[in-house]
A and B are shown apart, each in its own frame.
Chain A
Amino acid sequence: MMRFDSFSEFVAMGGYGFFVWLSFGVTFVVMLLLVVDSFYGQRRVLQKAKQEIERKQRILAARRAAAKESQA
Chain B
Amino acid sequence: MWKWLHPYAKPERAYQLCHTLLPWFATVAVVSLIIGTVWGLVFAPADYQQGDSFRIIYIHVPSAILSMGAYVAMAIAAAVGMIWQWRTAYMTMIAIAPVGAVMTFIALFTGAAWGKPMWGAWWVWDARLTSELILLFLYLGVMALYAAFDDKLQAGKAAGVMAVVGVVNVPIIHYSVEWWNTLHQGATISKFGKPSIAPEMLWPLLINLLGFAAFVGAISLMRLRNEIVQRELHRPWVADLVANSNARAEKE
Q: Which residues of B contact A70 (CB under 8 A)?
A: none
Q: Which residue from chain B places its CB closest to the CB of A14 in the assembled complex?
A: B52
A46 at interface by CB-CB < 8 Å: yes
B53 at interface, CB cutoff 8 A: yes
Q: Could you say which of A30, A41, A44, A50 contacts B102, with CB atoms under 8 Å apart?
A: A30
Binding site for B on A (CB under 8 A): 1-4, 10, 13-16, 19-20, 22-24, 26-27, 30-31, 34-35, 38-39, 41-42, 44-46, 48-50, 52-53
- CB neighbours (8 Å) of A50 from chain B are 242, 246
Residues of B with C-beta under 8 A to A41: 222-223, 226
**Which residues from A are CB-within-8-Å of B106?**
26-27, 30-31
- The majority secondary structure among interface residues of chain B is helix
Can you give 5 A-B contacts (C-beta < 8 A)?
A2-B42, A16-B51, A16-B117, A20-B41, A42-B226
Give chain A residues whose Cβ lies under 8 Å from the Cβ of B116: 19
A-B contact count (CB 8 A): 101
**A30 to B105, Cβ gap below 8 A?**
yes
Q: How many residues of B contact A (CB 8 A)?
A: 42
Beta-carbon nearest neighbor of B57 in chain A: A23
B113 CB within 8 Å of chain A: yes
Q: Given contacts A26-B109, A46-B241, could you give 5 more A-B pairs where the C-beta distance is less than 8 Å?
A: A13-B53, A13-B55, A14-B53, A26-B113, A53-B239
Chain A residues near B45 (CB, 8 Å)?
A: 3
Q: How far is the CA of A46 from the CA of B229 in the complex (A)?
A: 8
B233 in contact with A31 (CB, 8 Å): no
* Assembled-state Cα–Cα distance A38/B51 (Å): 37
Chain B's closest residue to A24 (CB) is B59
Q: How far apart are the CA atoms of A46 and B219 in the complex, in Å?
A: 17
- Most chain A beta-carbon contacts within 10 A, residue among B241, B242, B245: B242
